[in-house]
């Protein structure tokens, strides 16, 4: 019965589907994938993920500077990374947008503020709020598009590699933090799915730990987990702040290993302060090696 109904619906909607573009096409391709999956006997409730297709992929998300040509035949594995990315962003935004229970952890002389909050399970998350002298697009370029260059301007990161691109909004990355003098936690590696989404005057970056068969935990490294995490880049339009960005960053990290919680809870907000300091230096100095900003 269900396949017959689906066939009937497809017949009726075929002319409309042909004229669709951008996100609509991706959504339809995703639906096609799901139906194929169901047909192969791997049924799982559609509603579990269709809710994410509408959000946070808003009407603008297809144009984060990347045109309209999108792969419409995502493989199931790739689709799963897109879903993980969207889910991480959604979960992280829920944490950030819940106004209860935040307390100021660090207040910097330059106005940057870091708040913290305990989540169920005794984990503490940190939220940095800062104003940066760059547009959201410039920051998106530095933080997402050129993520592999991050070690050039941030000595706390020793390497970031993009292992997989899924469309233009989702990547799987392998990150290795540096063994720096001030870092009591020691070197870590991370395997993360990172997802971007543009809506109105905001660009959102989400991320969470993921798995990749070809990159199991590496010998000699403690694999930490970053996320669900997000960065919100909100364009400021008032007179004195025009061209600037309100930068919100939720750090939600399980550093793993055997470490006293008090050490971890001091190191994480400090890592945020450091990160922002280097980001500002990158903004004033431009890229480390040639090229235009």
Ligand X SMILES: CC(C)CCC[C@@H](C)[C@H]1CC[C@H]2[C@@H]3CC=C4C[C@@H](O)CC[C@]4(C)[C@H]3CC[C@]12C
Paired with 244 in beta bridges are 236
Stretch that binds ligand X, among 98-106, 122-130, 177-185, 280-288 (CB under 6 A): 177-185
Q: Which position has the token pair 């020691």?
A: 186
Ramachandran quadrant class, 246 (left: phi over 0; alpha: psi -120 to 50; beta: rest): beta
Ramachandran quadrant class, 122 (left: phi over 0; alpha: psi -120 to 50; beta: rest): left
Is residue 198 close enough to count as binding ligand X by CB under 6 A? no
Is residue 153 close enough to count as binding ligand X by CB under 6 A? no
Smallest separation (angstroms) from ligand X to the CB of 274: 7
Is residue 232 close enough to count as binding ligand X by CB under 6 A? no
Residue from 275, 277, 278, 287 touching ligand X (CB under 6 A): that is 275
Give the residue from 121, 167, 93, 131 showing the smallest Cα distance to 261: 121
Is residue 210 close enough to count as binding ligand X by CB under 6 A? no
Tokens of 110: 């330059």
Give the residue from 225, 216, 219 showing the smallest Cα distance to 251: 225
Residue from 92, 143, 172, 202 touching ligand X (CB under 6 A): that is 143
Stretch that binds ligand X, among 4-12, 21-29, 57-65, 263-271 (CB under 6 A): 263-271
Is residue 134 close enough to count as binding ligand X by CB under 6 A? no
Smallest separation (angstroms) from ligand X to the CB of 188: 5
Helix (H, G, I), strand (E, B) or coil at 113: strand
Cα dist from 35 to 6, 23, 28, 29, 137, whole Å = 9, 18, 10, 10, 36
Residue from 62, 255, 269, 276 touching ligand X (CB under 6 A): that is 255
Q: Select 3 or 155, whichever has its Cβ closest to ligand X.
A: 155
Is residue 142 close enough to count as binding ligand X by CB under 6 A? no
Cα dist from 197 to 2, 129, 181, whole Å = 34, 19, 35
Give the residue from 198, 199, 201, 225 showing the smallest Cα distance to 211: 225
String of contacts with ligand X for each residue 61-100, x by CB under 6 A:
----------------------------------------
Is residue 279 close enough to count as binding ligand X by CB under 6 A? no
Stretch that binds ligand X, among 15-23, 104-112, 181-189, 212-220 (CB under 6 A): 181-189
Q: Select 57 or 207, whichever has its Cβ closest to ligand X.
A: 207
The DSSP code for 142 is: I
Query: Which H, E and C letters describe 171-218, residue by residue?
Result: EEEEEEECCCCCCCCCCEEEEEEEEEEEECCEEEEEEEECCCCCCCCC
Stretch that binds ligand X, among 61-69, 152-160, 240-248, 285-293 (CB under 6 A): 152-160
Is residue 207 close enough to count as binding ligand X by CB under 6 A? yes
Residues lying near ligand X in the complex (CB under 6 A): 143-144, 147, 156-157, 160, 175, 177, 183, 185, 188, 190, 194, 205, 207, 226, 231, 255, 267-268, 271, 275
């Amino acid at each position: 019965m269900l396949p017959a109904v689906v066939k009937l619906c497809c017949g009726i909607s075929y002319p409309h589907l042909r004229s669709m573009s951008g996100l609509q096409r991706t959504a339809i391709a995703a639906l096609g994938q799901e139906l194929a999956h169901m047909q192969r006997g791997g049924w799982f409730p559609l509603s579990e993920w269709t809710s994410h297709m509408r959000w946070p992929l808003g009407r603008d998300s297809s144009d984060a500077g990347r045109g309209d040509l999108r792969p419409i035949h995502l493989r199931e594995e790739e689709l799963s990374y897109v879903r993980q990315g969207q889910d991480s962003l959604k979960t992280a935004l829920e944490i950030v947008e819940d106004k209860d229970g935040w307390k100021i952890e660090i207040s910097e002389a330059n106005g940057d503020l870091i708040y913290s909050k305990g989540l169920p399970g005794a984990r503490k998350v940190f939220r940095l709020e800062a104003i940066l002298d760059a547009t959201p697009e410039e920051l998106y370029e530095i933080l997402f598009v050129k993520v592999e260059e991050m070690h050039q301007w941030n000595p706390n990161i020793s390497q970031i590699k993009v292992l997989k691109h899924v469309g233009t909004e989702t990547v799987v990355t392998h990150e290795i933090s540096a063994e720096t003098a001030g870092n009591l936690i020691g070197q870590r590696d991370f395997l993360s799915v990172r997802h971007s989404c543009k809506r109105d005057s905001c660009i959102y970056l989400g991320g969470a730990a993921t798995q990749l068969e070809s990159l199991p935990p590496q010998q000699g490294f403690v694999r930490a987990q970053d996320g669900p995490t997000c960065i919100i880049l909100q364009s400021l339009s008032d007179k004195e702040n025009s061209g600037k960005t309100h930068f919100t960053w939720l750090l939600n990290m399980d550093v793993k290993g055997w470490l006293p919680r008090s050490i971890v809870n001091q190191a994480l907000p400090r890592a945020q302060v450091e990160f922002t300091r280097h980001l500002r230096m990158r903004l004033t100095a431009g890229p480390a090696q040639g090229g235009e900003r």
